[in-house]
Structure 1
Amino acid sequence: MGADHRAQVEELLAGYRRSREQLGVVHRKLAALKESATSEDGLVTVTVGPQGQLCELVIVDSAYRKLRPHELAQTIVELTEKAALLMARRAGEVLAPVLPPDTDPDALLRGTADLTQTELKTEQPGAEETFENLTWMQAGRRKR
Protein backbone atom coordinates (compact mmCIF):
# COMPACT_ATOMS: atom_id res chain seq x y z
CA MET A 1 0.00 0.00 0.00
CA GLY A 2 1.45 3.35 -1.03
CA ALA A 3 1.90 6.31 1.27
CA ASP A 4 -1.05 8.13 -0.35
CA HIS A 5 -3.41 5.23 0.25
CA ARG A 6 -2.18 4.82 3.79
CA ALA A 7 -2.80 8.53 4.47
CA GLN A 8 -6.30 8.25 2.99
CA VAL A 9 -7.09 5.22 5.14
CA GLU A 10 -5.78 6.98 8.24
CA GLU A 11 -7.85 10.04 7.39
CA LEU A 12 -10.99 7.92 6.89
CA LEU A 13 -10.38 6.10 10.18
CA ALA A 14 -9.86 9.39 12.01
CA GLY A 15 -13.12 10.73 10.54
CA TYR A 16 -14.92 7.56 11.57
CA ARG A 17 -13.55 7.84 15.12
CA ARG A 18 -14.65 11.50 15.35
CA SER A 19 -18.15 10.63 14.08
CA ARG A 20 -18.43 7.70 16.46
CA GLU A 21 -17.26 9.84 19.39
CA GLN A 22 -19.74 12.58 18.47
CA LEU A 23 -22.53 10.00 18.21
CA GLY A 24 -21.61 8.70 21.68
CA VAL A 25 -21.82 12.23 23.09
CA VAL A 26 -25.24 12.75 21.49
CA HIS A 27 -26.46 9.38 22.77
CA ARG A 28 -25.38 10.21 26.33
CA LYS A 29 -27.04 13.65 26.13
CA LEU A 30 -30.29 12.11 24.86
CA ALA A 31 -30.26 9.42 27.56
CA ALA A 32 -29.85 12.07 30.28
CA LEU A 33 -32.71 14.29 29.11
CA LYS A 34 -35.71 14.83 31.36
CA GLU A 35 -38.49 17.36 30.98
CA SER A 36 -41.15 18.41 33.49
CA ALA A 37 -44.52 20.14 33.34
CA THR A 38 -46.47 21.53 36.29
CA SER A 39 -50.18 22.33 36.47
CA GLU A 40 -51.12 26.01 36.70
CA ASP A 41 -52.28 25.52 40.28
CA GLY A 42 -49.01 23.80 41.18
CA LEU A 43 -50.77 20.67 42.44
CA VAL A 44 -49.29 18.20 39.95
CA THR A 45 -45.85 17.90 38.36
CA VAL A 46 -44.87 15.21 35.88
CA THR A 47 -41.42 14.41 34.57
CA VAL A 48 -40.79 12.40 31.43
CA GLY A 49 -37.67 10.68 30.21
CA PRO A 50 -36.01 10.72 26.80
CA GLN A 51 -38.69 8.60 25.13
CA GLY A 52 -41.49 10.73 26.61
CA GLN A 53 -42.25 8.06 29.21
CA LEU A 54 -43.52 9.14 32.61
CA CYS A 55 -40.67 8.69 35.08
CA GLU A 56 -41.75 10.87 38.00
CA LEU A 57 -45.10 12.09 39.31
CA VAL A 58 -45.52 14.52 42.18
CA ILE A 59 -49.00 15.21 43.52
CA VAL A 60 -49.37 17.74 46.32
CA ASP A 61 -51.51 16.38 49.19
CA SER A 62 -54.14 19.09 48.75
CA ALA A 63 -54.77 17.93 45.16
CA TYR A 64 -56.85 15.05 46.50
CA ARG A 65 -59.21 17.53 48.18
CA LYS A 66 -59.35 20.02 45.31
CA LEU A 67 -59.61 17.66 42.33
CA ARG A 68 -62.00 14.82 41.65
CA PRO A 69 -60.29 11.58 40.59
CA HIS A 70 -61.14 12.02 36.89
CA GLU A 71 -59.87 15.64 37.00
CA LEU A 72 -56.61 14.51 38.58
CA ALA A 73 -56.23 11.75 35.99
CA GLN A 74 -56.91 14.17 33.13
CA THR A 75 -54.40 16.65 34.56
CA ILE A 76 -51.75 13.92 34.70
CA VAL A 77 -52.43 12.88 31.10
CA GLU A 78 -52.36 16.47 29.81
CA LEU A 79 -49.16 17.33 31.68
CA THR A 80 -47.48 14.14 30.45
CA GLU A 81 -48.36 15.06 26.85
CA LYS A 82 -47.04 18.60 27.39
CA ALA A 83 -43.78 17.37 28.91
CA ALA A 84 -43.38 14.80 26.10
CA LEU A 85 -43.71 17.57 23.50
CA LEU A 86 -41.10 19.64 25.33
CA MET A 87 -38.88 16.55 25.46
CA ALA A 88 -39.22 15.98 21.72
CA ARG A 89 -38.14 19.57 21.04
CA ARG A 90 -35.10 19.23 23.30
CA ALA A 91 -34.17 15.90 21.74
CA GLY A 92 -34.42 17.51 18.30
CA GLU A 93 -32.08 20.28 19.43
CA VAL A 94 -29.56 17.69 20.63
CA LEU A 95 -29.79 15.70 17.38
CA ALA A 96 -29.78 18.61 14.92
CA PRO A 97 -26.00 19.23 14.91
CA VAL A 98 -25.22 15.64 13.86
CA LEU A 99 -27.91 15.31 11.17
CA PRO A 100 -27.58 16.22 7.51
CA PRO A 101 -28.66 19.85 6.93
CA ASP A 102 -31.95 18.94 5.19
CA THR A 103 -33.12 16.50 7.89
CA ASP A 104 -35.97 17.51 10.21
CA PRO A 105 -35.00 16.23 13.69
CA ASP A 106 -38.63 16.25 14.88
CA ALA A 107 -39.78 14.17 11.90
CA LEU A 108 -36.88 11.79 12.46
CA LEU A 109 -37.84 11.33 16.12
CA ARG A 110 -41.50 10.75 15.16
CA GLY A 111 -40.42 8.15 12.62
CA THR A 112 -41.89 10.13 9.72
CA ALA A 113 -38.72 11.62 8.21
CA ASP A 114 -38.91 9.68 4.94
CA LEU A 115 -42.71 9.68 4.50
CA THR A 116 -44.59 11.87 2.05
CA GLN A 117 -47.60 14.00 3.05
CA THR A 118 -49.91 11.43 1.41
CA GLU A 119 -48.37 8.63 3.47
CA LEU A 120 -48.77 10.70 6.64
CA LYS A 121 -52.51 11.26 6.20
CA THR A 122 -54.55 9.09 8.53
CA GLU A 123 -57.99 7.76 7.84
CA GLN A 124 -60.76 9.32 9.88
CA PRO A 125 -62.43 6.54 11.84
CA GLY A 126 -66.15 6.09 11.40
CA ALA A 127 -68.61 6.55 14.20
CA GLU A 128 -67.94 3.83 16.68
CA GLU A 129 -70.48 2.46 19.08
CA THR A 130 -69.69 3.35 22.67
CA PHE A 131 -71.09 1.88 25.84
CA GLU A 132 -69.98 4.58 28.25
CA ASN A 133 -73.52 5.82 29.08
CA LEU A 134 -75.05 2.37 29.52
CA THR A 135 -75.34 0.51 32.76
CA TRP A 136 -74.77 -3.22 32.81
CA MET A 137 -78.55 -3.76 32.98
CA GLN A 138 -79.21 -1.66 29.88
CA ALA A 139 -76.46 -3.40 27.95
CA GLY A 140 -78.17 -6.75 28.52
CA ARG A 141 -81.45 -5.49 27.03
CA ARG A 142 -79.94 -4.51 23.68
CA LYS A 143 -81.67 -5.86 20.55
CA ARG A 144 -80.02 -8.89 19.09
Structure 2
Amino acid sequence: MELSQRDQIRSANAGLRSALDAIQNEFDREIDELGEIQHKLAAMKVHATTPNNLARVTVNASGVVTEIAIADDAYRRSTPQQLTRDLNTAIRGAVEAAATARAAVLAPITSVIDGMADLNEMVPGATSLRDLQAMLSRATLTAHEQSR
Protein backbone atom coordinates (compact mmCIF):
# COMPACT_ATOMS: atom_id res chain seq x y z
CA MET A 1 0.00 0.00 0.00
CA GLU A 2 1.36 3.38 -0.96
CA LEU A 3 1.94 6.19 1.48
CA SER A 4 -0.68 8.41 -0.22
CA GLN A 5 -3.31 5.66 0.08
CA ARG A 6 -2.54 5.31 3.79
CA ASP A 7 -2.86 9.05 4.25
CA GLN A 8 -6.23 9.03 2.49
CA ILE A 9 -7.45 6.17 4.68
CA ARG A 10 -6.20 7.92 7.82
CA SER A 11 -7.86 11.15 6.75
CA ALA A 12 -11.17 9.39 6.04
CA ASN A 13 -10.93 7.54 9.36
CA ALA A 14 -10.24 10.80 11.21
CA GLY A 15 -13.24 12.43 9.53
CA LEU A 16 -15.49 9.53 10.52
CA ARG A 17 -14.18 9.62 14.09
CA SER A 18 -14.82 13.36 14.24
CA ALA A 19 -18.39 12.90 12.98
CA LEU A 20 -19.03 10.08 15.47
CA ASP A 21 -17.53 12.12 18.31
CA ALA A 22 -19.88 15.00 17.48
CA ILE A 23 -22.87 12.64 17.47
CA GLN A 24 -21.73 11.05 20.72
CA ASN A 25 -21.29 14.45 22.38
CA GLU A 26 -24.78 15.54 21.31
CA PHE A 27 -26.20 12.21 22.45
CA ASP A 28 -24.49 12.52 25.85
CA ARG A 29 -25.84 16.04 26.27
CA GLU A 30 -29.37 14.88 25.49
CA ILE A 31 -29.09 11.90 27.83
CA ASP A 32 -28.12 14.32 30.61
CA GLU A 33 -31.29 16.29 29.91
CA LEU A 34 -33.47 13.17 30.00
CA GLY A 35 -33.45 13.07 33.80
CA GLU A 36 -34.82 16.60 33.91
CA ILE A 37 -37.42 15.81 31.28
CA GLN A 38 -38.52 12.67 33.08
CA HIS A 39 -38.81 14.66 36.32
CA LYS A 40 -40.97 17.27 34.58
CA LEU A 41 -43.21 14.55 33.14
CA ALA A 42 -43.48 12.75 36.47
CA ALA A 43 -44.49 15.99 38.20
CA MET A 44 -46.90 17.12 35.49
CA LYS A 45 -50.50 17.57 36.53
CA VAL A 46 -53.11 19.10 34.28
CA HIS A 47 -56.40 20.35 35.69
CA ALA A 48 -59.70 20.99 33.98
CA THR A 49 -62.93 22.24 35.45
CA THR A 50 -66.44 21.48 34.30
CA PRO A 51 -68.15 24.39 32.53
CA ASN A 52 -70.29 25.18 35.57
CA ASN A 53 -67.47 24.65 38.11
CA LEU A 54 -69.16 21.67 39.70
CA ALA A 55 -66.13 19.43 39.40
CA ARG A 56 -62.40 19.56 38.83
CA VAL A 57 -60.45 16.82 37.06
CA THR A 58 -56.71 16.21 37.34
CA VAL A 59 -54.72 14.07 34.89
CA ASN A 60 -51.04 13.17 34.76
CA ALA A 61 -48.68 13.48 31.79
CA SER A 62 -50.08 10.28 30.34
CA GLY A 63 -53.59 11.68 30.39
CA VAL A 64 -54.65 9.29 33.16
CA VAL A 65 -57.20 10.73 35.57
CA THR A 66 -55.59 10.96 38.99
CA GLU A 67 -58.25 12.93 40.83
CA ILE A 68 -61.84 14.09 40.51
CA ALA A 69 -63.16 16.62 42.99
CA ILE A 70 -66.90 17.27 42.96
CA ALA A 71 -68.42 20.32 44.63
CA ASP A 72 -70.47 19.61 47.73
CA ASP A 73 -73.57 21.12 46.16
CA ALA A 74 -73.13 19.53 42.73
CA TYR A 75 -76.15 17.27 43.07
CA ARG A 76 -78.39 20.21 43.98
CA ARG A 77 -77.12 22.40 41.14
CA SER A 78 -77.13 19.72 38.45
CA THR A 79 -78.55 16.37 37.46
CA PRO A 80 -76.48 13.18 37.49
CA GLN A 81 -76.75 13.01 33.70
CA GLN A 82 -75.55 16.60 33.22
CA LEU A 83 -72.75 16.15 35.74
CA THR A 84 -71.64 13.01 33.88
CA ARG A 85 -71.57 14.91 30.57
CA ASP A 86 -69.69 17.80 32.15
CA LEU A 87 -67.15 15.46 33.75
CA ASN A 88 -66.56 13.68 30.45
CA THR A 89 -66.02 17.04 28.74
CA ALA A 90 -63.56 18.11 31.44
CA ILE A 91 -61.69 14.80 31.24
CA ARG A 92 -61.35 15.08 27.45
CA GLY A 93 -60.09 18.64 27.81
CA ALA A 94 -57.56 17.66 30.46
CA VAL A 95 -56.31 14.72 28.38
CA GLU A 96 -55.85 16.97 25.33
CA ALA A 97 -54.06 19.59 27.42
CA ALA A 98 -51.79 16.91 28.92
CA ALA A 99 -50.86 15.66 25.44
CA THR A 100 -49.98 19.21 24.37
CA ALA A 101 -47.96 19.82 27.54
CA ARG A 102 -46.17 16.45 27.20
CA ALA A 103 -45.24 17.25 23.59
CA ALA A 104 -43.84 20.61 24.70
CA VAL A 105 -41.68 18.98 27.38
CA LEU A 106 -40.43 16.35 24.91
CA ALA A 107 -39.87 18.86 22.08
CA PRO A 108 -36.15 19.43 22.74
CA ILE A 109 -35.40 15.73 22.51
CA THR A 110 -37.70 15.21 19.54
CA SER A 111 -36.19 18.06 17.53
CA VAL A 112 -32.61 16.93 18.13
CA ILE A 113 -33.29 13.31 17.31
CA ASP A 114 -35.38 14.15 14.25
CA GLY A 115 -32.69 16.49 12.96
CA MET A 116 -29.72 14.18 13.09
CA ALA A 117 -28.71 11.04 11.29
CA ASP A 118 -29.49 8.03 13.38
CA LEU A 119 -26.37 6.46 14.82
CA ASN A 120 -27.23 3.00 13.53
CA GLU A 121 -27.35 4.42 9.99
CA MET A 122 -23.66 5.31 10.28
CA VAL A 123 -22.41 2.47 12.44
CA PRO A 124 -23.95 -0.96 11.89
CA GLY A 125 -25.07 -2.49 15.17
CA ALA A 126 -25.13 0.81 17.08
CA THR A 127 -28.14 1.84 19.13
CA SER A 128 -30.86 3.67 17.23
CA LEU A 129 -31.56 7.06 18.81
CA ARG A 130 -35.11 6.96 17.50
CA ASP A 131 -35.66 3.55 19.09
CA LEU A 132 -34.23 4.91 22.34
CA GLN A 133 -36.63 7.87 22.17
CA ALA A 134 -39.60 5.55 21.67
CA MET A 135 -38.43 3.30 24.50
CA LEU A 136 -38.06 6.25 26.89
CA SER A 137 -41.50 7.59 25.95
CA ARG A 138 -43.07 4.20 26.66
CA ALA A 139 -41.14 3.85 29.94
CA THR A 140 -42.21 7.31 31.06
CA LEU A 141 -45.86 6.62 30.28
CA THR A 142 -45.69 3.25 32.07
CA ALA A 143 -44.08 4.85 35.14
CA HIS A 144 -46.86 7.43 35.28
CA GLU A 145 -49.55 4.80 34.99
CA GLN A 146 -47.99 2.80 37.84
CA SER A 147 -47.81 5.88 40.07
CA ARG A 148 -51.58 6.40 40.01
TM-score band w.r.t. shorter chain: 0.5 to 0.7
Pairwise CA RMSD: 3.0
Moved more, 78-87 or 18-27: 18-27
**Structure 1 residue 99 displacement after superposition:** 1.2
| Distance in 2 (alpha carbons) for counterparts of 1:93 and 1:12 | 24
1:90 is aligned, of 85, 93, 101, to 101
Q: TM-score, normalised by structure 1?
A: 0.58
Distance 1:97 1:77 in 2: 32
Mapped partners of 2:103, 2:94: distance in 1? 14
Determine the structure 2 residue equivalent to 1:46.
57
Q: Which runs of 5+ in 1 are unaligned?
A: 104-110, 112-144
Partners of 2:50 and 2:86 within 8 A in 1: yes
1:24-103 aligned at under 5 Å gives the runs 24-100=35-111
- Percent identity over the alignment is 29
Q: Which amino acid aligns with 2:47?
A: S
| C-alpha displacement of 1:100 | 2.8
1:102: Cα distance to partner? 9.3
* CA distance in 2: counterparts of 1:96 and 1:15, whole angstroms: 15
Give the unaligned 5+ runs of structure 2: 1-13, 115-133, 135-148
Report the count of equivalent residues.
101
CA distance in 2, matches of 1:74, 1:33: 25
TM-superposed CA distance for 1:64, in Å, is: 1.0
Structure with the higher helix share, 1 or 2 = 2
- Name the SS of the counterpart of 2:84 in structure 1: helix
Query: How far off its partner does 1:90 sit?
Result: 0.8
